[in-house]
Amino acid sequence: MPRRIDHVAIIVRNLEQALSFYRDTLGIVPGEIQEVPTEQVRIAFLPLGGPEGSQLELIEPTPANVSLNKFLDKRGEGLHHVCLEVENVDASLESLKEKGAAVMDQQPRLAAEGRAIFLHPKSSNGVLLELLEKPE
Amino acid sequence: MPRRIDHVAIIVRNLEQALSFYRDTLGIVPGEIQEVPTEQVRIAFLPLGGPEGSQLELIEPTPANVSLNKFLDKRGEGLHHVCLEVENVDASLESLKEKGAAVMDQQPRLAAEGRAIFLHPKSSNGVLLELLEKPE
């Protein structure tokens, strides 16, 4: 069973413009902007609720990021996925496969914050879900 | 400044079918299904992360709910809004109005969990945001 919501990701066209709303208008203190060239994105986390809390994540795809730019063209800016923290992502993957869920990864991928798998929205009521195991 | 993410809402066509994924496949223990006739919805919360954690909320509109059925027809099932808990929703509303945010309520509405306002996605990068003040 997932432990907690780790983050909720929002795709935006321009990180600085988005921060002008989330930071300056709404008043959330963001973390530093991170360039993640391996994933062709720039991101900023907006931590809420203290160390055990859940975060918003703003994601700006770089021009080379085909799939996220396609998402922006088709749906516009907005909610993209929800990331749930799990204790053991390998065990979660096995269990989900057994139960016939539409897992998008045959083995966990290395994400910025740990090891993760994605579930296709078709088995989770239209929601792209990430399951993340963080390092100890 | 918002305190924490209270919940992330997912619109579904059929609550029982959605629970068969979120409860039986993913393993989250849901709260009871609530009928909320005043809002023309049936809902179930999926608590995560303990008492201070954030929840997923599954929402099934009743046939009479025009706006959510329009959402389903247009976008299909999926993520609908993010609710942030604030200390004082009246103060938040004043501050957001002053800063020119697209608030959808001229005064807080009575929601199931407290007093709330909604922000139109046009000022929050495509994300429908609820700001909620819970009773003490």
Q: Which of residues 3-22 of A touch B (CB under 8 A)?
A: 3-5, 8, 10-12, 17-18, 21-22
Q: What angle do CA A124, B67, B42 make, to 5 degrees?
A: 55
- What is the tens place of the pLDDT at every residue in A48-96? 998 889 999 999 999 999 999 999 999 999 999 999 999 999 999 999 9
| Minimal CA separation from A38 to chain B, in Å | 24
Contacts of A8 in chain B (CB under 8 A): 5, 8, 82
- Report pLDDT for B52: 84
The shortest CB-CB distance from A48 to any of B5, B75, B79 is to: B5
Band of residue A26 on the pLDDT scale cut at 50, 70, 90:
very high
Contact call for residues B31 and B44 (beta carbons, < 8 A): yes
Residue B112 reports pLDDT greater than 90: no
The interface predicted TM-score of the complex, written ipTM, equals 0.95
Return the percentage of chain B with pLDDT > 70, whole number. 100
Band of residue A12 on the pLDDT scale cut at 50, 70, 90:
very high
Contacts of B4 in chain A (CB under 8 A): 48-50, 53-54
Of A16, A21, A49, A17, nearest to A33 by C-alpha is A16
The reply to whether residue B101 touches residue A77, judged by beta carbons under 8 angstroms, is: no
The reply to whether residue B26 touches residue A124, judged by beta carbons under 8 angstroms, is: yes
The reply to whether residue B22 touches residue A101, judged by beta carbons under 8 angstroms, is: no
What is the average pLDDT score of chain A? 96
Q: Which of residues 46-85 of A touch B (CB under 8 A)?
A: 48-50, 52-56, 58, 75-79, 82, 84
Q: Copy the structure tokens of residue B83.
A: 């609710």
The reply to whether residue B52 touches residue A49, judged by beta carbons under 8 angstroms, is: yes
- Comparing alpha-carbon positions, the chain A residue that sits nearest to B24 is A99
- Domains by residue range for chain B, with CATH: 8-80 (3.10.180.10), 86-136 (3.10.180.10)
- Which three-class secondary structure state does DSSP give residue B90? helix
The shortest CB-CB distance from A78 to any of B27, B56, B121 is to: B121
How far is it, in rounded angstroms, from Cα B8 to Cα A82? 9
